A and B are shown apart, each in its own frame.
Chain A
Amino acid sequence: MTKVASPERILFASTTQSFLEKEASLSRLRELHAAGISFEPDWWRRAAELGWTSLLVPEELGGGSVSGDGVADLAMVAELAGRTVAPGPLHPVSTVLAGLVEAPENHCATIESLVSGEVVGSWAVYEPGRPWAPLQPTVTATPTGTGYRIDGVKDRVEAGVESSVLLVSAQCDGVVRQFLVPTDAPGVRVESQGSLDMVKSYARVHFDGAEVSESAVVGSPDQTAELIARQSQIAQVLQCAEVVGILDTVLAFTIQWGFDRHSFGRPLASYQALKHKYADLKIWFEACRATTRAAVAEVAARSPGAELAVSVAKSYVGEHAPGMLQDCVQLHGGIGVTWEHDLHLFLRRVTLYRSMFGTPEDHNLRVYALTEQLEPSS
């Protein structure tokens, strides 16, 4: 984020920022949308070369972070990506890597290809008609003697169409396990699902007796809940960080609009009713930044409070960000609801993130449950 950083980190940030400004501008986003393209594989390879995919990966597995705090570095990339609502599979690839690096046995080659950007992977965790419940899959994995047979349906798999490999959660002998499943395996069928976002696409994935080898399993049975928790936290803090970048950008140009736009011979920002709305936007923005920063720090430190901190941030940011964008539309007036104006590009992304990986309401319930565990009622 914006904390005092080493020269290496500042350089990494500025390289990332100029790459995004040149290669992932808002006009580029509109072009991709018009062409029906989610992101270009070559563009993603170049992003990977900048180091985006190596941040969560230890050096012995071919990764490395700039500051030694890979989670914070990655959150910074997400925040910068928010400034131009960049395309690309940063979130799904990072989430899969977050799980694989905890249990790399048999998966070093996959990790390497994800880090290089040659391959895209995604977490297949949601299931049709069911809310965010990562520990209650209905997809099954049946041992076959030589491996596993996967059956069932996943959906809302980000970049599923572009992915070569999926990390699939499934019930296996009465416990939840995760498996790396190539999307070209027999019995795997991927259907595209559109979203509110200009470029982010999702997929429904059918597994009809898809066979994978013994080595496809990720982590031990005991470890799986922890891996899923870590993957969830990474996915959720990346959303929060990207939204902070979006809000920072949108607020900056909406505040400037308040100075520049005149009505009845006065700048908009001289009207108290509008000034107070702007003040609220500033308060909520600083609160979103504060809670996201706290969550990133807890996840980075793998603190026992990480799950609570992430749910607090995800709930708060999810509750406020879409409404803040709508306030900015209101402050712009009629121009704000036109296709030509960029506001909706940002609004689409924050609205998408509000409801993915747990709604604010889901996370409120989680925060209550965690509080109850800490302070059982006497």
Chain B
Amino acid sequence: MTETTSVATQTDESVEDFAARARAWLADNLPRIDPASLPDNDRGEETPWLRARELQKKLYQGGFAGICFPREYGGLGLPIAYQKAFDNESRNYEMPMILNTPTFTICAATILDTGSEEQKRRHISAALRGEEVLVQLLSEPSGGSDLAGVITRADRVGDKWVINGAKTWSTSAFAADYGLLLARTDWDAPKHEGLTMFLVPINSPGITLRRIKQVNGSIEFCEEFFDNLELGDDAVVGEVNGGWHVASRQLYHERRAVGGGSEFSSGIGSEGKTDMPIDYVALLAATGQADSERAREMAGRALVHRAVREQLIDHVYHGVLDGSLPPAAGSIIRITHAETHHLEFDTVLAIAGSSGVVDVGDDLLRYGERYLSRQSAALGGGTTEIARNIIGERVLGFPREYAADRGVPFNQVKRNKS
């Protein structure tokens, strides 16, 4: 969090003037929405993505896309204060929120850090024009948290790279144009040193994409199978065998984005209906418990934890900036996010009672459904167990866990029994 990859350019326009111009433009160009009743925007459907591309195109044409991305790659090159001002103005307008993560906050930010000049010019500006959606192709069926242990291979054949293997848990890859794919290019090197990042067109021959259906019915995540996918050298992001560096930047940007600390995110608020914070006052009213001290106390506790999570995000963000906390302290936010999510869904399940488990027509069954996928928050982006190791080892400085693959050529490392 100590680095800012965007470079601010000079502008004569004050933040206030910029905000006023944005206000006028938004009123004329984007539809207003009621933040209390958002559209569904299910990330697993095609329609929200098409809509997001249209909205992004409008933003670009109006001169309000990529406020903190450099001008030479299609952005405005302005400091974060301008983005915050725009967020404030756009609060009640329909915004392409689903493009923020991973397209802008993780993928475009990483390409900006590590990509070639050609990649930056082509892909960042295409994303800002609403013409490209970018995703991450990192996790594999063989293992989740041990990211550097990937076994998808990229073999050099003539002047091409030939990719074989499988990726999984790729967020909204079905809607994407390009993906950042981490593959092994040197099997004789220790695991972190034989990896290379590629920027892969998703609709290539050699890629078979399948949706993963989750417990809550979501089909947003995908898995991809690679059968002799051919790529040129122009697909390499960063250095050959320098893929771990690129992946580390992705993880860094991901942690920042989760905490709401990315200057590359545009717009504020929930993505859609399923992402809205729980309204306990409405829930207690709907279940006839507005005067129940027990229900009020439980809901109050959940509200306390929700408020503390926000205060903690701010505290850790500034702690890392001023050096009082190490960058690995981002894992504190990651775990608190999951723990708060757990508490909220445990609370809502308890308060909803049987309405949360039988559809009696009061629309509360959705809370039971959301409870079923409670653990997603403790798994996505690395498990909370790994995050606790990180806090123990990189924040508190405790001895590292034993790793049998440290310093060992990867082809000698023991892998899953097939």
Interface residues of A (CB under 8 A from B): 2, 4, 255, 258-259, 266-267, 269-270, 272, 275-276, 278-280, 282-283, 286-287, 289-291, 293-294, 308-309, 311-312, 315-316, 319, 360-361, 363-369, 371-372, 375-378
Contact = CB atoms under 8 A, between A and B. Distances in A.
A289 to B, nearest CB: 7
A228 to B, nearest CB: 21
A364 B297 contact: yes
B357 interface: no
Nearest to B391: A279
Interface string B243-280: 00000000000000000000000000000000000011
Contact of B282 (A315, A366, A378): A378
B158 to A, nearest CB: 47
Contact of B395 (A258, A282, A376): A282
Given A279-B388, A283-B335, A293-B315, A368 B297 contact: yes
Contacts of B316: 286, 290
Contact of B396 (A255, A287, A312): A255
A278 B399 CA distance: 13
A312 B304 contact: yes
Contacts of A360: 301
Contacts of B139: none
A272 B308 contact: no
A377 to B, nearest CB: 4
Given A286-B332, A364-B304, A367-B304, A272 B391 contact: no
Contacts of B297: 361, 364-365, 368
Main secondary structure of the interface of A (DSSP, over half): helix
A278 B388 CA distance: 9
A54 B304 CA distance: 32
A312 B309 CA distance: 11
Given A365-B300, A377-B290, A290 B315 contact: yes
Interface of B: 279-282, 284-285, 290, 293, 296-301, 303-305, 307-308, 311-312, 314-316, 319, 322, 324-325, 329, 332, 335-336, 385, 387-389, 391-393, 395-396, 398-399, 401
B300 A368 contact: yes
A258 B398 contact: yes
Contacts of A312: 303-304, 307-308, 311
Main secondary structure of the interface of B (DSSP, over half): helix
Given A278-B392, A316-B305, A365-B297, 16 more contacts: A4-B322, A255-B396, A275-B389, A276-B389, A278-B391, A279-B387, A279-B392, A312-B303, A315-B300, A319-B304, A364-B296, A364-B300, A367-B303, A368-B300, A375-B279, A376-B281
A368 B308 contact: no
A377 B296 CA distance: 13
A30 B280 CA distance: 47
A278 B398 contact: yes
A290 B312 contact: yes
A245 to B, nearest CB: 16
6 contacts: A269-B396, A272-B389, A282-B391, A289-B315, A319-B304, A368-B280
B347 to A, nearest CB: 11
Contacts of B395: 279, 282
A291 B300 contact: no
A241 to B, nearest CB: 15
Given A2-B324, A372-B281, A290 B401 contact: no
Contacts of B284: 377
Q: Counting chain B CB atoms within 10 Å of each CB, which of A259, A308, A364 scores highest? A: A364
A247 to B, nearest CB: 14
Contacts of A375: 279, 281
Given A270-B398, A316-B305, A365-B293, A276 B300 contact: no
A361 B299 CA distance: 11
B338 to A, nearest CB: 11
A269 B308 contact: no
Given A290-B311, A377-B282, A366 B332 contact: no
Contact of B311 (A280, A291, A368): A291
B391 A283 contact: yes
B315 A371 contact: no
A361 B399 CA distance: 39
A230 B284 CA distance: 30
Nearest to B299: A368
Contacts of A280: 388
Given A279-B391, A279-B392, A290-B314, A371 B305 contact: no
B392 A275 contact: yes
Contacts of B296: 364-365, 368-369
A361 B280 CA distance: 17
A283 B332 contact: yes
Instruction: List the 6 closest A-B pairs by CB distance, nearest first.
Output: A364-B300, A290-B315, A368-B300, A275-B392, A279-B391, A377-B285
Contacts of B391: 278-279, 282-283
A269 B285 CA distance: 48
Contact of B281 (A255, A267, A279, A371): A371
B314 A371 contact: no
Contacts of A363: 300, 304
A282 B332 contact: yes
A215 B276 CA distance: 55
A287 B308 contact: yes
A276 B285 contact: no
B303 A294 contact: no
A372 to B, nearest CB: 5
A7 B296 CA distance: 46
B311 A367 contact: no
Contact of A287 (B279, B319, B336, B401): B336
Contacts of A368: 280, 296-297, 299-300, 303
Contacts of A377: 279, 281-282, 284-285, 290
B282 A287 contact: no
B280 to A, nearest CB: 7
Nearest to B285: A377
B227 to A, nearest CB: 39
A283 B316 CA distance: 10
B311 A272 contact: no
Given A275-B392, A278-B392, A269 B398 contact: yes
A252 B281 CA distance: 41
B304 A371 contact: no
A236 B314 CA distance: 22
B214 to A, nearest CB: 27
Contacts of A294: 311, 314
A10 B348 CA distance: 46
A76 B200 CA distance: 54
B312 A286 contact: yes
Contacts of B293: 365
B398 A315 contact: no
Nearest to B322: A4
